[in-house]
Chain A
């Protein structure tokens, strides 16, 4: 059986890690290369780097950084943020990245999903979807959760699958930051209506939340940021607890 994956996500601004990464005993907690290898040593199954830079000048620092991380890391490495073209995907893959994650640009130009999967293969394409539950349904948001779209989560996810997405990274905006658990009901629905892997994001607070996202939410992978950055949950003990709960993991 394939193991359920635990994926820490790092936010990168102008080539540095941001959003409260706070490790005791780490000299430079802002250096993404240091953090990446630390997470790998701690048993992360994969890493996601999200470029949250707002300006082109800030973004320029991203590719050289990604190259340095890819050189060091021996586990799969996904990057996202500001990817709008097939050319950009090619450049990132050439820096040693294994997968790219696209979000708003896919909504604005769904054909981008088809093009990337055609040129570089589904295996390197993650489509990230942010959604919120309103008036009886899950609605897709873009631009970091700022803009509401007319797309419903399940319909959009299905379209991405048909266009060749290799995985869906779903973030529930209702659960993100609450540390009260993942959106397991909709996750399980998503997981069962699609035949590509689902990465769950938003809401991780306790080890039990991870057990639930795999057993109840039927997710294939779980992504989290702050619980790992602040060492509220350590990856190794987390995976041991998952194994005790009969969830297949890589120990």
Chain B
């Protein structure tokens, strides 16, 4: 039987590319909103694309916001998932889970927004990035960003330095898409699954 990893299903976005990436690594991504399955999983992935306010509403409607906060196993937020794990977001004036003590901000004017494409990771500070070198490229698509903080474990630069990844105990989060970031992204997913 394949190793299983739970992907939290709260009705937003497209998780097929995450499941495909997990399959390529020999894992099965189980999409579920079942509380017991999520609580008993060895690893939990918290995805998200689209609008923060809409996603946050669906998350609280599902009741999974409380479940997520209590988890003790490794959890990985991806993209909007990461933003929802912060205290709040300027996008629709949204309240987040508060797992990271950060306010999500919009990129200032003068920059192309959304920020789309491959950018370098710097200042890598977590087992999530084991075996990787700084300046490796990963794929980003986002209009809002998390500023730097003590919980920053990787930095990217777009107009200014910001958090490309965050960690607080068992909670990990990446702003970029490891599932679409070539070998570098696969290494990051593998590192997470080995935690």
User: Min CB distance, A146 to chain B, in Å?
Assistant: 30
A3 to chain B: which residues have CB within 8 Å?
A: 117-120, 137
Give complex CA distance A70, B24 in Å. 11
Which of A45, A75, A76, A94 gathers most chain B CB within 10 Å?
A76
Do residues A195 and B141 form an inter-chain contact, with CB atoms below 8 A?
no
Is B100 interfacial (CB-CB < 8 Å)?
Answer: no
Give complex CA distance A40, B182 in Å. 8
Is B129 interfacial (CB-CB < 8 Å)?
Answer: no
Among A94, A166, A220, contact of B141 (Cβ-Cβ < 8 Å): A166
Among A75, A120, A122, contact of B180 (Cβ-Cβ < 8 Å): A75
Which range contains the number of A residues in contact with the other chain?
20 to 34
Per-residue CB contact flags for chain A residues 183-197 toward chain B (1 = under 8 Å, else 0) read 000000000000111
A196 to chain B: which residues have CB within 8 Å?
A: 112-114
Do residues A167 and B20 form an inter-chain contact, with CB atoms below 8 A?
no
B16 to chain A: which residues have CB within 8 Å?
A: 70, 93-96
Is B183 interfacial (CB-CB < 8 Å)?
Answer: yes
Per-residue CB contact flags for chain A residues 1-27 toward chain B (1 = under 8 Å, else 0) read 111110000000000000000000000
Do residues A120 and B14 form an inter-chain contact, with CB atoms below 8 A?
yes
User: Min CB distance, A87 to chain B, in Å?
Assistant: 14
Do residues A167 and B116 form an inter-chain contact, with CB atoms below 8 A?
yes
For residues 112 through 157 of chain B, which have their beta carbon under 8 Å from a beta carbon of chain A? 112-120, 137, 139-143, 157
What are 20 of the A-B contact pairs (CB < 8 Å)?
Answer: A2-B115, A2-B116, A2-B140, A74-B24, A74-B179, A74-B181, A74-B185, A75-B180, A76-B139, A77-B180, A93-B14, A94-B14, A98-B14, A121-B49, A121-B50, A121-B51, A122-B114, A123-B49, A123-B141, A196-B114
Residues of B within 8 A of A (CB): 13-14, 16-17, 19-21, 23-24, 49-51, 109, 111-120, 137, 139-143, 157-158, 177, 179-183, 185-186
